[in-house]
Structure 1
Amino acid sequence: MNPKKTFDPSLYLVTDRDLSLGRPLEFIVEEAIKGGVTMVQLRETRCSTLEFYQLALQLKALLKPQNIPLIINNRADIALAVDADGLHIGQSDLPWQVARQLLGPDKIIGLSVETLQQARAANELDIDYIGISPVFATPTKTDTAPPFGLDGVKAVCAVSRHPTVAIGGINSTNAAQIIANGANGIAVVSAISAVKDPRQAAQSLANIVKTKVYEME
């Protein structure tokens, strides 16, 4: 196993241009950074490889000066092409062993888990964090297992040796509960991208997470 890499998963933005109210992706990400986002995952499911590559380069230019990791969803070729900080994969994506071999020991690899059994199995894998998906039902991702709920989050966090990031239906009304149940961070899509003021939304979420972590210390 490789040593733990230094990254802060506390407020993790997963991009979705379809939910960005017609605004450029760079605008959403730049505003989110100013609001306190600590990691960004570029997720694209319907664009060409060239467009994905170009978007990744644009986001890397925004994120690198701020030392905020750029994670590419699923596409190891894009992650390699732009020298991204890491790759996020699901249970039916590229096997983690292949991803690690391609990206090397220094890149961040995240793996989505959809059951408690998958979370336990992930303890034996050379990955850097797990995504608990989904916590609540969400229209942004419909091809997943039944939602974990708060009890499920608590159970996964209790058994995982990896940092945990919860995703799925998370917003300012339930973010504190996610952290209270053991998650190291929250990943959001529409709670930042689909609102009028992404910076303010990110700032609000960041404050909620920080406050709850402080209360628990």
Structure 2
Amino acid sequence: MAVKPEEMRKLLRVYFIMGSVNCSNDPEEVLQSAIKGGITLFQYREKGKGCLQGKEKLQLAKRLQTICRANHIPFIVNDDIELAIELDADGVHIGQEDEPASMVRKKIGNKILGVSAHRLDEARKAIAEGADYLGIGPIYPTSTKEDAKAVQGLSFIKVLRASEIKIPLVGIGGITAENAAPIIGAGADGVSVITAISQADSPDASARLLYEAVNEK
């Protein structure tokens, strides 16, 4: 699915990222509740201590993808290009430690390609190599990623927009409904969250509050 920038901006509004280790409840129930609340994009990120491997990882991916397809929510896979291709996922998201965006683009064709960027040169390289959007962060302190970079706040989003970089941007890291609006005000198109939804008492209500916060701007 080749996605135009204006459509990508809409998809990034409330971008939910989750794997089995992030959930207090059954991942399928959490995803269904989050979709009900208004998420616009989903990323399967099966990482961290105690994460599923091999066949179990694949089986959960298939179940979550089925839920996304039934609800017309694009299904993105984090890092695992082979899994994304096997599932015919809607796209992949990679970090700076993964294989180059140019190589991933060749493997996935016109599917969605997201790339994490922490510096201006990384952003420009990702754009040149075919990224559809950039993940920027961590915006606020986060404990979800063990290898998280230094907190950037809103400064890097502002630097990118001041540099006339127009690619769709999504903020990540420590984001909640209470602190989401300034990220959009700084120039991002949406917010991506893990625990704000996955560990909420009501993923539905949490997703709805995030959607409202993002769309107030």
Common topology (TM > 0.5): yes
1:139-168 deviation per Cα after TM superposition (whole angstroms, max 9, x unaligned): 001313211112222223433331001000
Instruction: Judge conservation of contact 2:92–2:113 (CA < 8 Å) in 1.
Output: yes
The amino acid across from 1:30 in the alignment is Q
Question: Partner of 1:132 in structure 2?
Answer: 136
Question: Where does structure 2 lack aligned partners over 5 or more consecutive residues?
Answer: none
Alpha-carbon separation, structure 2, partners of 1:41 and 1:91? 17
1:1-217 matched pairs, under 5 angstroms: 4=4, 6-7=7-8, 8-21=11-24, 23-45=25-47, 46-105=51-110, 107-159=111-163, 160-212=165-217
| TM-aligned CA distance change 1:3 to 1:211, over 3 Å | closer
Deviation at 1:3, TM superposition (A): 6.9
| TM-aligned CA distance change 1:113 to 1:102, over 3 Å | same
| TM-aligned CA distance change 1:92 to 1:194, over 3 Å | same
Instruction: Judge conservation of contact 1:89–1:112 (CA < 8 Å) in 2.
Output: yes
Count how many residue pairs are aligned between Structure 1 and Structure 2: 209
Question: Partner of 1:215 in structure 2?
Answer: none
The farther-off stretch of 187-196 and 147-156 is 147-156
The amino acid across from 1:19 in the alignment is N
Instruction: Judge conservation of contact 1:86–1:109 (CA < 8 Å) in 2.
Output: yes
Instruction: Judge conservation of contact 1:9–1:186 (CA < 8 Å) in 2.
Output: yes
Alpha-carbon separation, structure 2, partners of 1:59 and 1:157? 34
Secondary structure in 2 matching 1:72: strand
Secondary structure in 1 matching 2:154: helix
Instruction: Judge conservation of contact 1:157–1:164 (CA < 8 Å) in 2.
Output: no
Alpha-carbon separation, structure 1, partners of 2:35 and 2:162? 30
Instruction: Judge conservation of contact 1:73–1:87 (CA < 8 Å) in 2.
Output: yes
Indicate the RMSD between aligned Cα atoms, in angstroms.
1.6
Instruction: Judge conservation of contact 1:114–1:144 (CA < 8 Å) in 2.
Output: no
| TM-aligned CA distance change 1:3 to 1:140, over 3 Å | closer
Question: Where does structure 1 lack aligned partners over 5 or more consecutive residues?
Answer: 213-217
% same residue? 37
Deviation at 1:123, TM superposition (A): 2.9
Question: TM-score if structure 2 supplies the norm length?
Answer: 0.90
Instruction: Judge conservation of contact 2:20–2:52 (CA < 8 Å) in 1.
Output: no
Secondary structure in 2 matching 1:118: helix
